[in-house]
Amino acid sequence: MTQLEISGLELFGHHGALEEERRYGRKFLFDIRLELGDQASRSDRLEDTVDYRELVTLVKSVSEGRQYTLLEALARAMAEAVLRQFPVVEQVHVRVRKVGAQLGAPVEFTAASIDLGG
């Protein structure tokens, strides 16, 4: 099994349960881990794996495509889009982190994660 990762992909988004979050937006960090078969590591061919640039483009597209109320729903939409677009992916792990959440006490971030695939 081969794993690919992108960690800390920073995007500005308009997601959240509060109207203020959706109106003004904030920074989100995306951590994506893909599990693939071993074909790419054996063949050394880009077409046998996932191009990181295409993955970043997809993450941007999903994040900018609509406003999500819950991080959980955004993470699921991201994972489902990865599985649809990249057939070589057997399993995907997505973590979405919201930086600067207002919770009445300082926190570095809040997050939701999901694992999808076979």
The pLDDT confidence band at residue 30, using thresholds 50, 70 and 90, is very high
According to CATH, the topology of domain 2-117 is GTP Cyclohydrolase I, domain 2 (3.30.1130)
Give this prediction's pTM: 0.92
**Domain ranges in the chain?**
2-117
Pairing of strands 26-36, 89-99: antiparallel
* Residues β-bridged to residue 4: 34
Cα torsion through 29, 13, 54, 49, rounded to 10: 40
**What is the rounded average pLDDT of the residues 25-50?**
92
- pLDDT (tens digit, 9 = 90+) per residue, 61-109? 999 999 999 999 999 999 999 999 999 999 999 999 998 877 888 888 9
The residues that are catalytic are 98
pLDDT of amino acid 110:
92
Residue entry with tokens 């495509």: 65
**Mean pLDDT in the chain?**
94
